[in-house]
Structure 1
C-alpha cells in the first residue's frame, strides 16, 4: 500500500529507505536493535526505516531509493551464504554508485578486504572478502575469547571518537581539504628530498596526512561502548591513504588500533565499526551474569554513544533528527 501511494509523489519528496539487513548471518536481536536505533535517530519525515532480506537484496531492492544499508552483529560466513555472489555484487554496486553502508561487528568484517577471526584458534575464519570497502584486514576477536553461545566474551571498551558532521569525497572532514592541500604543497619539496616519486603514496606521507587530520578535527570525545567479538582494522597504507579515515581508536589496546573507519567507495561511503555502538544498557539487562558489570557502564555513557551514532549517520549522508 505504501508503494502505491508513494509512487504518485514527486521525486523531491519521496521517502528514501534506511534498510537493516534481516536474515542468515545477522542475529535477530541485533537486527531489532539497529532498526530501533535508526528510528530513534534518522529524520523519519525523510526516511522509512525497514528491514531487507537477502532475497530482496538479490532481487535488486537496494536500487529502489535506498539511502543506507546497515548490517550488524552475527557471523559473516552466514552473510556470504545467504547473499551469494549476486547479492554481494548488488551491495557493492549500490555503494559504489553513491550509496551508504554501515557495518557493525560481523557487518564490518564482511566489508573488509580480508578477515582474520580467531586465527589459530578453534573458531578460526580467515580469508578474502568480496565487498572490499576497507583496504585492509578486519582482525579479531579482541579483549576476550569469543563464545557464539553466550556473552562471556563481552566487555565495555574505551574508544575515542572524532566528531564532525560531514566528510568530503576524498576522505577528509569538512573544512580540512583546503588546509591540508595548502600544507601538503608546503611540504612537497621536503617529501621530494626523502626520495619519493611525485604522486606516490608512502607511509610517511600517510602519517603526515593523519597528523593533519587529527590536528584540525573540530571536537572529539572518549567513551565506553559494548564489545563482543568485533575487530580492529589493519589498513594497507599505500591503498588506503586517500580512501580511509580512522574515526575512532581502541584506547585499551597498546597501539590504539582503529575501531571505526570511514571509507570512500568510488561515489559511495562505508562506515565500519568493530564495536557495538548501537547497544544500550537495556539491551543486555536480562539477568545474564556475564554482563552485569557492563550494564552500569553503558547506562552512564549512553548520551555519548548517541552523539557518536548521530555523527556517523551524518557522515553517511543521512539527515538526523
Structure 2
C-alpha cells in the first residue's frame, strides 16, 4: 500500500497536447533576436551609429521595466526569457532613427508595463506590445514619428530628412519613387528595421527554417498585399513588388504578425489572420489618409484573434452542434 501511495504521489497528469521538446521561451526568443540581426546591421549601415544607441536604449529600458515591475509586484523575475529584449528591439525597428531616446524609452514602458505586465505577463497580452507601442508613439508624437532620416548615401548638407516611398506614392510623386531594387536592398528612408526587405526576408526564412514560426501568416499576409496591389494598379507587377518592399510589410509579416500569443492557433485561423492583415494594410494604403497600414492591420487582427480561434475550433470539431 505504501508503494502504491508513493507511486501516485509522483504521477503527474496534464492535458494534451503531450509534446517532448527541448525548446523553451529563452531559446525561441534568442532565435528571434538572431533573425533580427541582418535587419539591424542593415539599419546601422543605412542610418549610422545612432541606430545602435536607439536600439540599446529601447532594449535596456524594456528589460529594466520588466525587472522593476516584477520586483515591485513580488513576482518571479522573467527577464531571462529574452521576451522583453525582443520587444525592445522591435520598438527600435519600428521608429525613425532620429526619434528622441526618451520617446523610445516611453514606448518600452507602454509595451512592457501597460500592454504586457498589467495583463499578466508573457502569454497573457491580447495585442502585440511592440505594435501597440508604435501606434501610441505615432499618435502622441506624430511629428517625430513621421520625420524620416535619409540614408547616409543620399543625405546632403541641405537635406537630411525626406519622405518614405509610401509618402511619395500617397502624395502622387511617382516620378520620385526609388527603384524596387533600391527598396529591396534598403537604400531608402523609413523606420530603422523595415528599410531592407532583403535583410528581413533572410531573417524570416531563418525563423521558418528553424520552425520558430509557421509560414502560413507571412505567406497569406504578403500574398494578399501582392494580389491587391497587382489588381489595383492595373496588373502591374512593378507596383505589386513595390508594396511588398515598402513600409513595414516584411517586418510585420515575419516578426510581429507571427507572435504566438496574439495570433490564431490553428492553420485555418492563421490563414484568415494573414489575409485580414493584408486586406486592412492595403485598404489603408490605397484609400486611407495615412500612407502605411501594417501596424493598424496587425492590431485590429489581434483583437479579432479570439473570435477567429472560436470559429476555427468549431470548424475542426464539426461545428459544435447541440444535441436535441
TM-score, scaled relative to structure 2:
0.25
Higher fraction of strand:
1
Higher fraction of helix:
2
TM-score, scaled relative to structure 1:
0.25
Name which one, 1 or 2, has greater alpha-carbon Rg: 2
